[in-house]
């Protein structure tokens, strides 16, 4: 709970506490005098600030570009640095007044955009033909510095966006940069821990997953394996966060991890995809094999921390809201077993058998996970969980029917059965939700 929400909740509770004699009216007044003067602003306001700063920054840059040819070198440099200094100067001045924090945020963000413009324009002035993505990397370093100096979530959003753009630009140059994963991970994780809010946690999760996925291109292991591992790691991190007092921060890594995991899991239910991804080649002691091993080790570490200490594990499992998340670890372990079994399998026949066994295992895990989600969602009246479970089960069933037969009558029966199944689940979930007093 944020500080602003905490005070809002406390203000609503105090009248009831006075009636019950928990606190006196005088004590209530003294408590409310401690309410901070700083007024918070919601996530939508932060996003609008970021968009407005971006648009105004683009407007300023376009204005410079229009008059660029008519300006001398010193006028260009002076204009660039003066704009940058003015933006941050106004931000610092406004930041001295707590009630104008939102305005200060805008000016600092504008200053960060102008810093990026300065890098690009200076490169043009001096005809610097350096590696193009390095300019974005330098810009991200500036945003990173401002992120920590100002403790600003919009600056974090800018930093994460720039890091992703930098990595996308690097794809063209086919250069492995594993240090980029460390660069973004340390930066955003530490900031998320400091903020203790779900939005920075979401930014951190997305940026780490995207950068890690891009770097998986340089691995000898198929990127799908790395993506499933990243999904399992994100879910595990969410479970670890739930052991703290900041459970709302667990939602982004869990949701992002589950989406990524389920996409890869459903893909692995097809034998041919397993053949092309998990059993495609004979791996050797290649340096490109180190990266997926590090990812796998990170997944095992995260889930190991969740499992330990074993003495309290049964109690923690009992209190776990979504026990179905444990199937994610099972899917990850099966992926690793098939991957290493494929490495040791030399003959075509053994890989053919392994392919079918693996597909059977992934189908079973997907079906069980989906069914558990359906029962969990219908039992608690949570429509989203029921929908996710239905989607998984229906995709698996339809995919298998499509694989086994071309008969249109059988396929029509399959679709009718799937539709009736989803309808029954939705009706059951709706009834439970109404009985619990929730909105339909």
Place of tokens 């049964």: 314
Place of tokens 């440099």: 77
Q: Using CA atoms, how far apart are residues 328 and 344, in angstroms rounded to an integer?
A: 25
Place of tokens 């959003």: 157
- The pLDDT, as a whole number, for residue 38 is 44
Q: For 351-397, write each residue's pLDDT tens digit.
A: 788 888 999 999 999 999 998 888 887 877 677 888 888 889 888 88
> CB-based contacts of 355: which residues, under 8 Å, 6+ apart?
271, 274, 275, 279
**Range picked from 26-40, 152-166, 405-419 for highest mean pLDDT:** 152-166
- The pLDDT, as a whole number, for residue 6 is 62
Which of 18-22, 196-200, 254-258, 284-288 comes out lowest in average pLDDT?
284-288
For residue 356, give both structure tokens. Answer: 């079918």
Q: For 46-63, write each residue's pLDDT tens digit.
A: 677 777 777 877 777 677
- Burial (CB < 10 A; 0-12, 13-18, 19+), residue 269, is buried
Is the confidence at residue 65, as pLDDT, over 70? Answer: no
DSSP string, 346-360: -SHHHHHHHHHHHHH
Check the CA dihedral 334-268-325-255 and report its sign: positive
Mean pLDDT of the chain: 82
- The pLDDT, as a whole number, for residue 346 is 58
Residue 15: pLDDT band with limits 50, 70, 90: confident
Is the confidence at residue 401, as pLDDT, over 80? Answer: no
Q: Using CA atoms, how far apart are residues 237 and 306, in angstroms rounded to an integer?
A: 8
- The pLDDT, as a whole number, for residue 1 is 46
- Burial (CB < 10 A; 0-12, 13-18, 19+), residue 423, is exposed
Q: Using CA atoms, how far apart are residues 429 and 440, in angstroms rounded to an integer?
A: 9
Q: Using CA atoms, how far apart are residues 212 and 292, in angstroms rounded to an integer?
A: 10
For residue 200, give both structure tokens. Answer: 């920075």
Closest alpha carbon to 240 in 190, 328, 305: 305
DSSP string, 79-140: HHHHHHHHHHHHHHHHHTSGGGHHHHHHHHHHHHHHHHHHHHHHHHHTT----THHHHHHHH
- The pLDDT, as a whole number, for residue 204 is 95
Is the confidence at residue 11, as pLDDT, over 70? Answer: yes
Higher pLDDT, 334 or 436: 334
Cβ atoms of 52 and 14 within 8 Å: the answer is no
The conformation of residue 283, written as its DSSP 8-state character, comes to -
- The pLDDT, as a whole number, for residue 18 is 80
Is the confidence at residue 277, as pLDDT, over 50? Answer: yes
In the chain, the N- to C-terminal Cα span, in Å, equals 26
Is the confidence at residue 164, as pLDDT, over 50? Answer: yes
Cβ atoms of 52 and 72 within 8 Å: the answer is no
Share of the chain above pLDDT 70, in %: 86
Q: What region, left, alpha or beta, does residue 317 occupy, with left being phi > 0 and alpha being psi -120 to 50 degrees?
A: alpha
For residue 429, give both structure tokens. Answer: 């979930």
- The pLDDT, as a whole number, for residue 440 is 46
- The pLDDT, as a whole number, for residue 405 is 65
Say what angle helices 3-20 and 25-33 make with each other, to 10 degrees: 170
Share of the chain above pLDDT 90, in %: 27
Say what angle helices 408-435 and 383-404 make with each other, to 10 degrees: 170
Higher pLDDT, 293 or 408: 293
Which of 77-86, 113-122, 361-370, 426-435 comes out lowest in average pLDDT?
426-435
Angle at the Cα of 151 (from 149 to 152), degrees rounded to 5? 115
Q: Using CA atoms, how far apart are residues 340 and 357, in angstroms rounded to an integer?
A: 14
- The pLDDT, as a whole number, for residue 39 is 45
Q: For 187-243, write each residue's pLDDT tens digit.
A: 999 999 999 888 999 999 999 999 999 988 877 778 899 999 999 999 999 988 988
In this structure, what are the phi and psi dihedrals at residue 96, rounded to the nearest 5 degrees?
-70, -20
Length of the chain: 440
Mean pLDDT of 132-148: 92
pTM above 0.85, yes or no: no
């Amino acid at each position: 709970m944020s500080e602003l929400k905490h005070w809002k909740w406390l203000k609503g509770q105090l009248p009831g506490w006075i009636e019950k004699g928990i606190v006196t009216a005088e004590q209530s007044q003294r408590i409310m005098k401690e309410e901070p003067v700083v007024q918070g602003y919601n996530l939508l306001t932060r996003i609008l600030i970021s968009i407005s700063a971006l648009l105004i920054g683009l407007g300023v840059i376009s204005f410079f570009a229009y008059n660029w040819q008519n300006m001398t070198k010193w006028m260009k440099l002076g204009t660039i640095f003066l704009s940058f200094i003015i933006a941050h100067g106004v931000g610092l001045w406004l930041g001295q007044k707590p009630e104008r924090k939102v305005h200060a945020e805008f000016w600092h963000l504008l200053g960060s955009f102008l810093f990026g413009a300065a890098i690009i324009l200076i490169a043009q002035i001096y005809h610097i033909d350096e590696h193009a993505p390095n300019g974005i990397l330098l810009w991200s370093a500036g945003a990173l510095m401002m992120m920590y100096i100002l403790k600003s979530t919009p600056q974090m959003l800018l930093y994460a966006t720039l890091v992703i753009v930098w990595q996308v630009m690097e794809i063209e140059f086919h250069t492995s940069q594993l240090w980029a994963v460390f660069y973004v991970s340390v930066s955003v994780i530490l900031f998320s821990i400091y903020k203790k809010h779900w939005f920075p946690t979401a930014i951190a999760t997305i940026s780490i997953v995207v950068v890690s996925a891009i770097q998986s291109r340089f691995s000898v292991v198929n990127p799908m394996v790395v993506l499933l591992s990243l999904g399992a790691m994100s879910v595990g991190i969410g479970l670890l966060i739930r052991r703290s007092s900041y459970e709302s921060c667990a939602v982004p890594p869990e949701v992002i991890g589950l989406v990524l995991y389920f996409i890869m899991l459903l893909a692995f239910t097809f034998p041919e995809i397993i053949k092309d991804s998990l059993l495609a080649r004979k791996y050797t002691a290649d340096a490109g094999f180190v990266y997926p091993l590090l990812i796998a080790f990170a997944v095992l570490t995260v889930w190991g921390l969740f499992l330990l200490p074993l003495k309290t594990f049964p109690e923690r499992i009992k209190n776990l809201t979504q026990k179905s998340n444990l199937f994610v670890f099972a899917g990850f372990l099966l992926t690793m077993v098939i991957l290493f079994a494929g490495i040791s399998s030399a003959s075509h026949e053994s890989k053919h058998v392994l392919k079918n066994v693996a597909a059977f295992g992934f189908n079973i895990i997907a079906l069980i996970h989906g069914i558990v989600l359906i029962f969990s969602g219908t039992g608690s009246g949570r429509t989203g969980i029921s929908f996710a479970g239905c989607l998984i089960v229906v995709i698996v069933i339809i995919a298998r029917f499509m694989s086994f037969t071309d008969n249109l009558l059988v396929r029509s029966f399959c679709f009718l059965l799937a539709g009736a199944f989803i309808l029954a689940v939705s009706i059951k979930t709706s009834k439970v939700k109404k009985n619990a007093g929730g909105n339909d």
